């Protein structure tokens, strides 16, 4: 499909109509989000405030020790669906009265976690005092024998963020990014470095300090979030940024890291343009789309900074496979694990509120097949870029 075919006003009519609706809904949601059952938003907190939070916390531990008591550390339980509430405008957010777990000094099973928590607090306190940042990876590799694994560090940092009700970056602890962004977008990083994504044909790695970016500029009509790196690269090779110009394209390279999710949310907040998800027509792809759109249980305490409830699922829908007469040989039979995943997804609160998404999962269950985006190339090599996406965008075929 030639780029000229996307230049007329009629091509973007449905996108512009959706933009108007989303912006109006966003204004209404901002007014109505007062109150509710979930925790107050996990807002960016100033450096002095976080320093005081850490000092107050440590002071409390010392007071109890001075009274010959072994102080426990209380963490909100981020591993229970009973602790979260689904709200359409926010996604999966943590309840105000979420249950907690205790980390005790006199229990052998939790002594290590206690020590790790205090060490990371000490590191965060030093970073805040010096007003510098570090990555979770650097923290781990500075003392591998003590921490044991990167996962332990990651979990401890998130637990501390949740406990203090602050975003992770407010502790001055960042994560290395794996996602990429390309297209009609420019911004400045927190250190003033200017980034022009349109000048990098293969895209750029998403910054580690997404909260620190500023001067975000774009004339894009929409943001296309692509599940897999292979598809993202294929779309770039097929010149999608020119054929569907002006758009922004992002990939989390599979299950998205927090920086990818943060960037998608930042762009929506700043640009207020439609965000379209392109994922495989399989349970894993649907779950990834849901994480972007509705959030996750483990990060429910930071839902306001991560979920993009305005996201629309442009494809590949399970119903697309039948509509396009995709050869069954290009599809993959569902496994028992796939069926369990579908049942698990259908039981989640956000899908119960979205009948059209439920219906797509039921289509997958009933046919007994799933498919990757590459299955569309069986129709023609450039079908995804030249036909599928342009038609979906022009006619507003998303859910």
Q: What angle do CA 27, 349, 40 make, to 5 degrees?
A: 50
The answer to whether 218 touches 195, Cβ cutoff 8 Å, is no
Counting every residue, how long is the chain? 399
% of the chain exceeding 70 in pLDDT: 94
Distance (Å, whole) CA 60 – CA 240: 56
E strand or H helix that includes residue 323 = helix 318-323
| Structure tokens belonging to residue 211 | 């909260």
**Cβ distance 360 to 283 under 8 Å?**
no
The rounded distance, in Å, linking the Cα atoms of 396 and 394 is: 6
98-115 average pLDDT score: 86
Note the pLDDT of residue 68.
Answer: 84
Mean pLDDT of the region 284-308? 93
Distance CA 186, CA 215 (A): 8
Residue 36 scores a pLDDT above 80? no
- What pLDDT is stored for residue 1 in this prediction? 38
The answer on pLDDT for 6 being more than 70 is no
Specify the pLDDT at position 2: 41
Least confident stretch, 39-43, 60-64, 143-147 = 39-43
Confidence of residue 33 (pLDDT cuts 50, 70, 90): low
> The domain at 47-174 falls in which architecture?
Orthogonal Bundle (1.10)
Provide the pLDDT for residue 66.
86
Instruction: Give mean pLDDT, residues 202-221.
Output: 94
**pLDDT confidence of residue 90:** 85
**Which class would CATH give 180-395?**
alpha beta
Whole-number pLDDT of residue 3: 42
Instruction: Provide mean pLDDT across the span 13-19.
Output: 94
Q: How would you classify the pairing of strands 222-226 and 275-278?
A: parallel
Q: Left, alpha or beta for 182 (phi > 0: left; psi -120 to 50: alpha)?
A: beta
Phi-psi group of 22: left, alpha or beta (phi > 0 → left; psi -120 to 50 → alpha; rest → beta)? alpha
Please state, in angstroms and rounded to a whole number, the distance separating the CA atoms of residues 63 and 166.
24
Point out the catalytic residue in the list 109, 133, 141, 232.
141
Active site residue 141: yes
Q: Please name which of 309, 289, 307, 286 lies closest in space to residue 298, comparing C-alpha atoms.
A: 307
Residue 155, both tokens: 């979990």
Average pLDDT, integer, range 84-88: 86
The arrangement of strands across the sheet holding 204-205 comes to 204-205, 180-183, 247-251, 222-226, 275-278, 312-315
pLDDT at 41 over 90: no
Residues 54/124, Cβ–Cβ less than 8 Å: yes
The reported pLDDT for the residue numbered 15 is 95
Q: Give tens-digit pLDDT for 223-255.
A: 999 999 999 999 999 999 999 999 999 999 999
- Percent pLDDT > 90 in the chain is 68
Residue 130's Cβ-count burial label (10 Å; 0-12, 13-18, 19+) is exposed
What pLDDT was estimated at residue 180?
Answer: 97
What is the mean predicted confidence (pLDDT) over 207-214? 93
Intrachain domains 47-174 and 180-395 with the same fold: no
Q: Region 381-396: what's the mean pLDDT?
A: 94
Mean pLDDT of 342-369: 93
Enter the tokens of residue 145.
Answer: 């024998």
Statement: residue 39 has pLDDT above 60:
no
Confidence of residue 31 (pLDDT cuts 50, 70, 90): low
Q: Which two tokens stand for residue 122?
A: 């000490």
pLDDT of residue 69: 84
Question: For residue 164, what pLDDT is reported?
Answer: 92
Confidence grade of residue 126 (pLDDT, cut at 50, 70, 90)? very high
Domain-wise residue ranges, the chain: 47-174, 180-395
pLDDT category, 216, cuts 50, 70, 90? very high
């Amino acid at each position: 499909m030639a780029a000229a075919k996307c230049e007329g006003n009629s091509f973007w009519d449905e996108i512009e109509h959706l933009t108007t609706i989303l912006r109006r809904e966003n204004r209404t949601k901002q007014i109505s989000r007062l109150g509710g059952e979930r925790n107050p938003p996990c807002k960016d907190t100033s450096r002095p405030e976080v320093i005081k939070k850490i000092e107050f916390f440590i002071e409390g531990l010392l007071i109890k020790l001075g009274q010959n008591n072994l102080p426990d550390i209380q963490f909100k339980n981020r591993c229970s669906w009973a602790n979260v509430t689904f709200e359409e405008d926010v996604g999966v957010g943590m309840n105000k009265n979420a249950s907690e777990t205790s980390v005790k000094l006199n229990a052998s099973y939790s002594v290590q976690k206690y020590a790790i928590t205090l060490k990371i607090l000490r590191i965060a306190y030093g970073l805040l005092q010096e007003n510098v940042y570090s990555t979770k990876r650097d923290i781990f590799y500075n003392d591998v024998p003590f921490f044991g694994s990167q996962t332990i560090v990651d979990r401890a940092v998130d637990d501390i963020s949740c406990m203090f009700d602050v975003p992770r970056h407010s502790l001055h602890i960042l994560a290395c990014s794996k996602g990429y962004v390309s297209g009609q977008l420019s911004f400045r990083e927190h250190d003033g470095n200017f980034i022009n994504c349109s000048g990098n044909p293969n895209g750029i790695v998403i910054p580690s300090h997404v909260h620190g970016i500023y001067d975000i500029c774009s004339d894009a009509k929409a943001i296309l979030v692509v599940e897999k790196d292979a598809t993202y690269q294929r779309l770039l090779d097929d010149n999608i940024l020119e054929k569907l110009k002006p758009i922004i394209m992002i990939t989390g390279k599979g299950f998205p890291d927090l920086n990818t999710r943060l960037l998608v949310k930042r762009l929506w907040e700043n640009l207020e343009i439609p965000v379209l998800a392109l994922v495989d027509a399989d349970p894993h792809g649907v779950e990834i789309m849901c994480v972007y759109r509705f959030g996750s249980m483990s990060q429910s305490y930071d839902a306001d900074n991560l979920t993009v409830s305005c996201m629309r699922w442009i494809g590949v829908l399970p119903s697309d496979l039948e509509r396009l007469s995709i050869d069954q040989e290009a599809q993959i039979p569902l496994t028992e694990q796939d069926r369990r995943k579908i049942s698990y997804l259908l039981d989640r609160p956000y899908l119960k509120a979205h009948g059209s998404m439920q219906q797509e999962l039921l289509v997958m269950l009933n046919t007994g097949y799933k498919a990757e985006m590459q299955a569309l190339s069986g129709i023609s090599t450039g079908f995804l870029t030249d036909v599928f996406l342009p038609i979906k965008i022009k006619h507003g075929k998303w859910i």
